[in-house]
Structure 1
Amino acid sequence: MGVAVGLAVFCGIALSRFFRKVGPEEALVRSGWGGMQAKSGASGGIWVIPILHQIDRMDLTVKRIEITRKGQNGLICRDNIRADIEVVFFVRVSNSTKEIQEVAEAIGCQRASTRETLVELFDAKFSEALKTSGKKFDFADLYTERDKFKSDIVDVIGSDLNGYQLDDCAIDYLEQTPLEMLSPSNILDAEGIKKITELTAAEKVQENNFTREKEKTLKRQDVEADEVKYELEKQRVAAKEKQEREIAEVTAREQAQALKVKEEERLKAEEARISTAESVGVAEENKNRQIIVAVKNKERTNAVETERVERDRQLEVTERERLVGVAQVEKDKAMEVVEREKQEVIRERVVVERGTVEEREKIKDTEAFYGADRQKKVAIVSAEEKAQEALVTEVKAAEASKQSASLLAEKTVIEAEAARAASEKEMQATKMLAEARTAESAAEGLAEAQVITAKADAQQKEGSAQAVVIEKKAVAAATGTEAQAVAEAKGKEALATAIQKEGTAEATVIQRKAEASAKGKEANAVAVEKEGTAEATVMQLKYTSEAKGIEDKAEAMKLFDGVGREHEEFKLRLNKDKEIEIAGINAQTKIASDQSELVGEALKSARIDIVGGETDFFDKIVDSVKSGKAVDHLVHSSQTLTDVKNTFFNGNPEYFQQKLQSLVGQFDLSTDDVKDLSVAALIYRMLDLTNSNETRGELRRLLGSVTSLGISDQSALSALKLKNDKNSG
């Protein structure tokens, strides 16, 4: 019994394992013993015995296949217009046993229902059906007859799909292919482009016609409405203007009548007021005339007293400034003397240093003379370069002193110009005072007389100021010339001999003529001052006589109206300004003329080589004069050069040679000792050999003399002219 139950259980389990069933969306395909057999889920199950049979499952669900044709591959319609289209096909395996077996044998159960397999199998077939159906319809019909187009696609594909079944298709996307994607070289595309252009152009024309008709209709309606509106507005304005005109006429008549009555009453009142004002005005004018006469008398007295006090104050200020200027000049002269002594010490030190260098180079030349002539020349060149450097140093120092002296001279000139400017400012202040008084007074004749008197005083002051300026300029020029002469003499020592021979006489003449011209200019300034004073007196008398006429004219001008009085005042101011400007121009012209005469007289006997133009010419003339003055002043004012002249020249051209020969003999020097030495080197040699302070001082003066005369580099042998017998001794 237990065995039977166990066998029954075993058979039940075996049967459950051998019988297979699936759902309606799948099918079973059995292969092996007994041949191939297929069963869908709807037709029941199937027995499967392991080892004897193999079972596979096949998907029977609907699959989606998309066919897309766009751009140059778009669908061509019957009218050759290309369309971009996307069509979705719904395909599945048929559920009949025969077709399932057919698909399983041809494709296999696993691949039968994959989307890639379906696309691979039906893409070409469906595309061909799409092209065939599309060629049967125009592009516009694809929209209007979409169901017919879809049915035709299904009919073209048919039902014979080798075991598959086409359930349906759907047009997912349908649009015209853009023109830029079409190829004009394709005959079908060219025809399509032509048709599209014709259709779109016609539609645009029709659309534009509709738009324009709409605009014309709207504009026509607007114009008609505006015409009606303007006509109504015109009627309204006409009625309003008519009413306002009638109201204005009535109002004007009433106002005119009222104004007439008012003006008649005002006329009576004005007549009474004018009569009263005339009486009061006559009394007021008489009163004012008496007040003006009293005020003018007082102002005339005050003006005379003020002018006298101001003139005294100006004289005191001018005298005080002159004393200050003289003290400053004396101070500057003392400073220049100290500076000159300092520069003299510096110059002697430079000369000694340069002589030492030259002596060393001469000793080197003597030692190397018999050795190599080339080395001798090199040493000479080196010595000359060092001497040139020392000379440049002296020139730079002299230029610095020259600039200092020039600044000092310019300072003196500026002070003189400031004094002249003060006089001019005083003249302008007097002129402005006269103008202010003239503007306050109604009597123009009295104001004009005061202006003329002020002009005469101003001219007198201007003459005095010019004299002071000329005097200070002469002092400044002398001081500046002296300072510049000292500075330039130090920078031009190398040229002193030539300047002394050729320029001493001319410089002396120029100096004397310049001094004479300065004195003449000073006398001329005094004469100008007296002439100005006399002219001022004459003009004062002249204008005093005219003042009476001007006063009468002023009384007559009181009778003028405002316009006539203003015109006469303008004429008087214009004439006054004109005379003041002419006086200033004449004064400047006179100063320039006197200066040109002074320079011309000073340079009348000078020999001048003109080089340069414009201001260079004048600057070169002044520099030449200063150079001559420098040499002359150097000789006359330098105690050292005076001692040298008295010691070594003594009025005899050969005295210098005799003095030098006596010194050489004193130190027992032979021709061999001095033949390779310069004059400066010889003097340095004698300075080293002596211990006497007197002799050393004499030798230093001699060294300064030969340096300033430019003969320090001359051969000592040629200067001494020693005889050959001294060489043997």
Structure 2
Amino acid sequence: MDSQMLMAVMGIAAVLIFGTLGSIISFYKKVHQGKALVRTGMGGLRVITQNGGFVIPIIHKAERMDVSLKSIEISREGKQGLICQDNLRADIRVVFFIRVNNQEEDIATVAQTVGCERASDTELLFSLFEAKFSEALKTIGKRFDFIELYTSREKMKQEVIDIIGTDLNGYVLDDCAIDYLEQTKIDYLDPDNILDAEGIKKIIDLTANQKIQANLIKNEEEKKIKKQDVEKIEAVLILDKQKVEAEERQKREIETLRAREESVTETVVQEERLKAEKAKLLVDEELEIQEKNKEREVLVASKNIEKTEALENEKIDREQKLAQTEKDKFVELAIIAKEKSLEEQKRDIQDVIKERIAVQKSVVEEEERIKDTQAFSEAQRVKKVAITLAEQKAEESLMAELKAAEAAKEASKLKAEQQKIEAAADFETSNQKAAAIKTLAEAKVKEQATEGFAQAQVSEAKSLAKEKEAIAEAQFIATTSEAQATANRQLGEAEAEVLRKKMIAEAEGMEQKSKAIELEGLAEAKVLEQKALIEAQRIEAEAKAAQHMDGAILELEKFKLQLNQEKDLSLAKFEMQQELTKAQATVMAEAVKSSDIRIVGGETQVYDRIIKSISMGDAVDSFFEASSVATEVKENLLDDSDGKNIIGKVKGFIDQFGISTEDIKNLSVAGLLSKMKVMAQDDQSKTWLDSALLTAEKSGIANIAAGTLLN
């Protein structure tokens, strides 16, 4: 019973605790970015801008205020447009960016004066600040000419912000942007208004001058086009006249020439007919003589052919017998060489067997010494019998493995030597076959044709025999390379096995060395095989090229002739360019003896650029010498009575008055001088600036951007 009551009390306590915690959590209100929480009630007015705070119902009341950035657009257009300093009206739309200042005092002020919900209402903000912002725009507009509104937009914006200020009863002005700026149409200007009347006069004056200039340009264009059309028609008519005269003159000359040629042709025809008759008689006589000579020559030729055939048959029989004798001789020599090579190989094999027996004998002697050592160890070290027996077994196993590896190595060497011998025998046999084919081809060719035809066939048979010799040699090289590769691989494997077995007792790390040796042997075999194949392909290509040597030689001679012609032409061009460069260098050296010139370019560009620079410098000097106005401008700009030129004094005034580089970029020369005159305090500076302004207007540089002269 007591435990049940205790559990009930604990449950009630837990419910109360969790309920209290839940209530406390529900009373905590968070503040989001761009918002502020204004709490009233117990404890007075409190502004919460970060994290959050507790708001207890009944005791407190909380309202959220939007403190994010808002925009207000103020428009002054038409009859309400801004009046500029030059009395021109401008249509303008400016966007102001304002927000509630994120400070507790300012938020509290806005909450008390405007209310939390209405603090960021765009319509309310417009009604609150429209009059103040419009008045600021009117004030600023009167400080600038209409053109300056375009060229000094940033300055105008900054002055608007300076006039309005940043503190607006809890609000703050972040920035403003000129969204639209245009001249007010003349229809909206009141001619009875003094300021508008002045603006209308300026607009009409400027537009009328521009229209006059445009009309002059257009009329000049039409006049030049019409003049060019008339000149074109005159030129076409003159050319047509010349064409007709040329055609008539050509017709007259053709008729005269045709009549003269017809007369000459008739005379020639008659003369040729007479010559033809005489030639015909001579031809008939000559034909009869040639017919008689032909019959006599045929009879003589038949006798010569019979004699030649008898001699050729006898010669062919003799050469066939000689060829058969040479063939038998080559076969016998090949058999003898092969048997001799086999005997040498057998003798080498016997030597190898003797060496193996000697090695086995040394192994047996080594085993006997090991047994003696074991017996001596058993007598001396009775306590270490088990260790000695283990060492004995290990040594016996190692020696057996070494013996087997050495035997495998010797067998690999023998097999490689045998393969080399067989490859050499195959190569010798291939050479003998090629020689026999060559002999048979020569004999067959001599049997089938006359001496001239036989000569061509013999050349072809020789080429074929050379090709077969090359193929046989390539096969031998390939076979030898393959045998060498196999032998190297087997030898490498045997050596690797021996090294691996030896190194087991010494160190495991030497296994990598045996693998490297094996890979080296395989790589060497592949290289030899590739070399043999390439050599075979080269020999075969040379044999094929021999069949077409006449055409290739002809093409080679043509190519050499063309190459020599191109070489001679290139040398002539090079010598001509060299002479031209020397002449240019002589002229340029005389012109720039004492000049400091940086040369950029190549070949003729250097000469052309320097000549152009010299010509331009002479033209500028002549211009200043011949023009009094230019001389006056130069003296006014660069010379001054106190030894300091005008540009230097203007830069001094700029530093004195603190005029920024951005202002200089946006002002003309006249505008900059006028601005400095307003900022000057003493009469001497104002008088000098007036004189400089008159000089600039007289020389025609008043409308040039000031930045281009001062940089």
Structure-1-length-normalised TM-score = 0.33
Give the greater-gyration-radius structure (CA). 1
Compare relative contact order (CA 8 Å, sep 6+) and give the higher one, 1 or 2.
Answer: 1
